[in-house]
Amino acid sequence: MNCELQRSYRSRSHLWARPGFSLVEIVAVVVIIGILAAGAAVAILPQVEKARVNTTKNSMRTVKSAISTYMVEKSQAPASLSALVPDFLELGSTVDAWKTPYYFAVTPGGAHPYQLISAGKDQDLTTVSDNIDLWTMELTE
């Protein structure tokens, strides 16, 4: 009978044990997920910056086309990019992917009829290293 009692006690305690994960297993999974997320962030962030540069370059090509159309219709360059909105450009087309307005200046007698420059990632026109110039952007690709 003693043996039978011992057997029934074991079977009851086995029934009371709940299946699940220990704290160590949960922490290990959280650490692994954190490592994977950090690796993904390191791989994705440079791609986001490249996408912003490409978006800005494409937008500048659109602005260049609008300026050309304006110059054909009006026989002169626009005084500012805001003169192109809404007839030649959509509202919001005069800013780059970093939400900074393009620098635009008419340059009569210059190598090109006007300048169109994006300030780039740092949003500062004085930092020439990351500026995107309409006339030289194809040379840097």
pLDDT, residue 56, reads 93
Instruction: Give the start-to-end residue ranges of the domains of the chain.
Output: 34-133
pLDDT, residue 3, reads 54
34-133 falls under which CATH superfamily?
Glycoprotein, Type 4 Pilin (3.30.700.10)
pLDDT, residue 72, reads 93
Token digits of residue 63: 């602005």
pLDDT, residue 127, reads 85
How many Å apart are CA 2 and CA 6, to the nearest integer? 6
pLDDT, residue 21, reads 81
Using alpha carbons, select from 63, 69, 77 the residue that is nearest to residue 108: 77
Alpha-carbon dihedral angle through residues 83, 87, 89, 95, given to the nearest 10 degrees:
30
pLDDT, residue 108, reads 85
| Tens digits of pLDDT across the chain (141 residues) | 555 545 555 555 555 556 778 889 999 999 999 999 998 888 888 888 899 999 999 999 999 999 999 999 999 889 999 999 888 999 888 999 999 999 999 988 888 899 999 988 888 888 888 888 988 877 655
Question: Could you tell me whether strands 114-118 and 103-106 are parallel, antiparallel, or unpaired per DSSP bridges?
Answer: antiparallel
CB 104 within 8 A of CB 115: yes
CB 63 within 8 A of CB 81: yes
pLDDT, residue 42, reads 86
